[in-house]
Structure 1
Amino acid sequence: MECLRSKARTPLNGTGLIGKEPWWKAAVFYQVYPASFKDSSAEGWGDIPGLISELDYLADLGVDCVWLSPVFESPQADMGYDVSDYQAIYAPYGTVVDVDRLTAECHARDMKLILDLVVNHTSVEHAWFKESRSSKTSPKRDWYIWRPARYDSHGRRIPPTNWRGYFAGPTWTWDEDTQEYYLHLYAPDQPDLNWENDECREAIYNDTMRFWLDRGVDGFRIDTVNKYSKRTEYVDAPVTDPQSDSQPAPEMWCNGPRIHEFIREMNQKVLAPYNAVSVGELSNMASPHDVIPYVSASAKELDMVFEFSMIRLGTGGGFGPKYIYRPYTLSTFKETVKKFQTFIEGTDAWTTVFCENHDNGRAVSRFGDTSTPELWRASAKTLALWQITLTGTLFLYQGQEIGMVNMPSEWGIEEYKDVESRNFYQEAVDSGDEQRVRDTMHGLRILARDHSRIPFQWDGGKKNAGFSEGDRTWMRVHDGFGEINAMKQRGDQGSVLEFWKRALRLRKRFKDLFVHGRFTALEEGDEKRFVYLKESTTESGGNRRALVVMNWSKEVQKCVDVKKSLGCEGADEVRLLFSTTDRGPKMVGGEHEAALRPWEGRVYVNFEAGDI
């Protein structure tokens, strides 16, 4: 049969057979944003005991590893991404002992735990920075990046460079006591560490990594991992925004001259000796091929990274117009997915699968359709089917599995708590351009980080959606929690949650196809259907194929020629392995399957290949 005799190609990953792959490749990671997951203390702020109370929920979902966003001691200028003590826990979350218990409880359920490692910068309240800014002769002065002022033609003091930060405004803040500027790529509360300093790096490895690995955690999600090495000549960036004194300059601090040296050292000294899993946040990459050095197995740097080209679609870039929404076509979306599905082929590198995290709007609101309850449910399931059939390690974000949506559009800017959202909005207001203010607010309603941070919707019949018994919550609970919540969906086989459970089991059962399979895009110019082929080489040398067909619209669409797309001919039989609906024949006898309903998705396999 043609679909079984297809010539096998070189396996995707050069490390060998699937059975010898590391555990994290086929694992399902689940990101917990702790402030919003579960509050056990009725204070309106999520905590670690609350997370522990819901570990059975995660285990039942099919989670293999919990990724806990920052819980370290922090003034919370950027929700914990401004750490003031890496060995202490922010009191509203709990204690170090609570983290120890969380680790043990995860391990008792055969789940692992990784922490969020934030070491590009600290808080201004960290003891290291306090000592660094105490004097120009401080032993830790060079642990951060300090530079003298410049002066313009009128004798006015200006920053060392014209760089613009990620949260709007310049990347330099003046320190009156020591009469120099310090660098911060994010908020002024988040001064950048100087990775050029050997003693600083050793302190990072010892105080922030070994401390927690010795306590039993299994690895780290590593924040801003390609920003540790800056261009140390500190020159101005080209003027690309004439309306601003500060200019975007990621080329000055991303993928710098010593970045691979630093990450290899981190791996050699800490990650490898502990066999700790690592996933880095990698931004501003010129091309997929630039990602490979970070995740090549032979390079011995990181296990995997998050690359953001797909999830950033719709934004106006990373700086000034970031929240001026830019529509895009499905073909552009598909091209981006294809690029980061296929770039590892023929290499020993690895990739990740994700469409939500704590820094973006909800996937079903951005990529699906929430205009009616029926389309919300259908598109949420199709997004799930899309994610579980992609190659790489799968990451889910809390609430994704129940189809949580963006904050209601009628909510005003006062409900947006994030430092980035508020700074970009204020920048628009300060411009005096009313259209820019309206455009920025429109973009925030789609893209803002706040959408992913509202409280988890556990129970539609309980106060605050079951997130907290307190009188107030740190962010407002979604008005629609009565319709979208975990309790309502549990046991309902037509729900988004139960669909995710089945989908994750299917992904693991056919991991050769869906986790490790080769990706081939089909129907690339189609603006309504998303179609691709997944192929794998089995340990016995055989070849399997699966066809993923999705209607990415609210109108009925014709299905593709399934047998032809799978490379099967004549009497060869094809099976509908999985779909977002319950209807339709299981065997495909003709050239074409029934029409695709709005936002319907299907997975077909050749009959023998599935061993169903």
Structure 2
Amino acid sequence: MNKTPLRTSGIANSLLCAALALGSLLPGAFAQTATQAPPAADQKNTTADPWWKHGVIYEIYPRSFQDTDGDGIGDIKGITSRLDYIKQLGIDAIWISPMYPSPQIDFGYDIADYTAIDPQYGTMADFEHMTAEAKRRNIRVIMDYVPNHTSDQSAWFKESRSSRTNPKRDWYIWRDPKGFTADGKPTPPNNWQSWFGHSAWEYDATTKQFYYHHFYVQQPDLNWRNPEVIKAMMDVLRFWMDKGVNGFRIDAVSRLFEDPNLHDDPILPGTNAFGDPNIVHKYTDNLPEVHDMLREMRKVVDQYPGNPVLISEADEPNIFELSKMYGANNDEVQLPMDFQVADVNELSAPKFRELLKEVENNPAHGQPYFFFGNHDQDRIWDRYSIGVTDPAMKARIARMMATLLLTSRGTPQMYYGDEIGMVTTTPTRVEDVRDPEGITGWPKQKGRDGERTPMQWNDSKNAGFSTANTTWLPVAPDYKTVNVAVESPDHESMLNWYKRLIELRRTNPALYAGSMTVLNPNEEVLSYLRQGPPGKPSVLVALNFSGKPQTLKYDYAALGLTKGATATLETNDPVINHAPLTKPVTLAPYATWIAEVQ
């Protein structure tokens, strides 16, 4: 990876870097005495000031994090072996994508048993050991809770489809055909479409009815209008809370309910990547009943100590609708994932500026939850550098987005590998695609394999991820130079940039808990002020979203500041280190400046 000069904040030292480089060579090899890890976010974990307001959350895609048994697939023991790395990075909680028994049609999001561990990932004893080791390091564990649908191999669904009179028939959504074609083929009850292409209805010849699936055919939707389903799914929450987990990321929560009258969805002009008509999911998404269920889920987790958290995946159409996920009395989820901000797939300072203002003024006054990468999105490195060819500029852009994530007011979610600058590695041939979304939509939709490639630990075979001859997805070609071992001793690496930002976020009072005011010193620069407590400095953040130098002019007096910028806390623009802070600052293309202001 090309490196760009940046300013040291005095946090890392050569001894630490050498220890981390050695530790990254083998799972679990980090020396506990090498450094003092950043202080935990929950030193004052109270109901009024819970840990999740200050913590950094790190998503692990278990298939791709660390393989310990040589089968080419990551496992729970692999996660345990890397907890020291996670701790040294400064992470407070790990969100782990599904590890439940599954046919793996959707790589774990098609669950066959909600209260067990898939043998390919390990055993329940492995899971319990991992949670215990995480707790010992003050790292919380957040499970992926998938309430909308099960696998068609679930015992529940097998019973449901066995006959129309089975007690679990109404656990899923079954409907008669709307009619029949001239040659006698049944037609779906309405025009609802699957998120992954084509009709959302699948005909079952045995019982001569269709079942509904918002996602893949193998993922039938549960019927959340059935009280027995509600009880069973609340018991799932209790099962894992009793195992010691600290909360849940709730998958596809806005799709829990559908219109019982089966109204057709509105049709829009054109077709999508799957060749289907464009529709508005009016009758299958974001129905009011969703909020009733979120309140019930919240009641369950609130019965447990330690301020457990609920995080919702709900790509709401605007900040106002997203705000409803908090609940009228903040009695639903604490952290709705903000796709409005995450889905700005371009470097547009005006767009980010307006969205950040909206989030700051959300009607529920809820805690923001930001992320720029996960298992369903292209990597940060690629999404925000479209059209940029210079590797050094790409690196600056990736650092800039890391800064936005970790210095804005909100709970940040990282995605494994972003901290070392992993890139999207999309298959180039349809025969190499593993993700069913890519298989169905190729070539317009190439799937999500590119952001799910194995973690790059070192420059050994398979990047230190696995000893297998073949891994479930191939390791990215750049693993020899982009990996933890190479970057740990390099003070100018992406990894150490992330570490410094996380420590700065944790130790600077203004970044830890200060309010946020979005500024506009220059149309091409995204900038904001984090207000320090009385008697303490504030922090000014400036991000040049353009490929040209931009001059920054702040009216410090109007911001209630008497001295202006008094120190540079972090930057990757070497000129700023030598420029007098009393004069207007010119920020280099795609550069970042974090300053102490008084």
State the TM-score, normalized to the length of structure 1. 0.84
Q: 1:353 aligns with which of 363, 370, 378?
A: 370
In structure 2, the CA distance between the partners of 1:101 and 1:297, relative to structure 1 (3 Å rule), is farther
* Secondary structure at 1:232 match in 2: coil
What is residue 158 of structure 1 aligned with on the other side?
187
Give the match for residue 267 of structure 1: 298
Distance 2:564 2:436 in 1: 58
Letter in 1 for 2:352: K
2:551 alignment partner in structure 1: 559
Equivalent of residue 237 in structure 1, options 260, 265, 287 = 265
Deviation at 1:210, TM superposition (A): 1.1
Aligned twin of 1:320 = none
Separation in structure 1 between the aligned mates of residue 109 and residue 202 of structure 2, nearest angstrom: 18
Residue of structure 2 equivalent to 1:322: none
Q: CA distance change for structure 1 residues 37 and 76 in 2, over 3 Å: closer, same or farther?
A: same
Partner residue, 1:56: 84
| CA displacement 1:413-446 (0-9 Å, x = unmatched) | 3333211122121xxxxxxxxxxx5xx26xx4xx
Identity, in percent, stands at 32
In structure 2, relative to structure 1, the CA distance for the partners of 1:53 and 1:273 (3 Å cut) is closer
Match of 2:23 in 1: none
Summarize the alignment of residues 251-400 of structure 1 with structure 2, pairs less than 5 Å apart: 251-273=282-304, 275-283=307-315, 285-296=316-327, 298-314=329-345, 330-331=348-349, 333-335=351-353, 337-344=355-362, 347-368=364-385, 371-400=389-418
Q: How far apart are the structure 2 equivalents of 1:606 and 1:18?
A: 30
Question: Out of 189, 196, 201, which is 1:172 matched to?
Answer: 201
**Corresponding position of 2:213:** 184
Q: Does residue 1:405 correspond to 2:396, yes or no?
A: no
Conservation of the 8 A alpha-carbon contact between 1:85 and 1:126? yes
Counterpart Cα distance in 1 of 2:564 and 2:398: 32
Change in 2 beyond 3 A, CA 1:19/1:266: closer
Counterpart of 2:415, as a letter, is: Y
Tell me, in whole angstroms, the C-alpha distance in 2 between the residues paired with 1:170 and 1:336.
Answer: 37
CA distance in 1, matches of 2:512, 2:115: 39
User: Match of 2:319, as an amino acid?
Assistant: P
Rounded to whole Å, the distance in 2 between the matches of 1:337 and 1:415 is 38
Gap change, CA 1:148 and 1:286, over 3 Å in 2: same
**Within 2, Cα distance between the matches of 1:109 and 1:227?**
36
Return the alpha-carbon distance in structure 2 between the equivalents of residues 58 and 358 of structure 1. 18
Question: TM-score of the superposition, structure 2-length normalised?
Answer: 0.86
1:491 alignment partner in structure 2: 489
SS at match of 2:282: helix
Q: Please tell me the residue identity of whatever aligns with 1:464.
A: N
Please point out which of 217, 226, 245 is paired with 1:197. 226
Structure 2 residue corresponding to 1:39, chosen from 67, 70, 83: 67
What amino acid is aligned across from residue 229 of structure 2 in structure 1?
C
How far has the Cα of 1:352 moved from its partner?
Answer: 0.4
Tell me by how many angstroms 1:564 deviates: 4.2
2:594 maps to which of 566, 581, 603: 603
Q: Is the 8 A contact 1:293 1:299 kept in 2?
A: no
- Any unmatched runs of 5+ in structure 1? 1-15, 315-327, 426-436, 608-612
1:532 to 519, 524, 527: 527
Return the letter of the residue paired with 1:558. Answer: Q
Runs of 5+ unmatched residues, structure 2: 1-43
Pair 1:150–1:567, CA change in 2 (3 A):
same
User: 1:339, CA displacement in angstroms?
Assistant: 4.8
1:517 equivalent to 2:478? Answer: no
Q: Give the distance between the partners of 1:227 and 1:577, measured in 2 at CA.
A: 44
The code of the aligned residue for 1:144 comes to Y
**Does the 8 Å CA contact 1:382/1:580 hold for their aligned counterparts?**
no
Write the letter of the residue equivalent to 2:160. Answer: S
Partner residue in 2 for 1:506: 504
Provide, for residues 369-412 of structure 1, a one-character-per-residue CA deviation record: whole Å limited to 9, x for no partner: 7733322332222221121111111111000110111116x833
Which region of structure 1 is more displaced relative to structure 2, 84-93 or 39-48? 84-93
The change in CA–CA distance for 1:195 and 1:263 in structure 2 (over 3 A counts) is same
CA RMSD of aligned residues (A): 2.6
- Number of aligned residues: 549
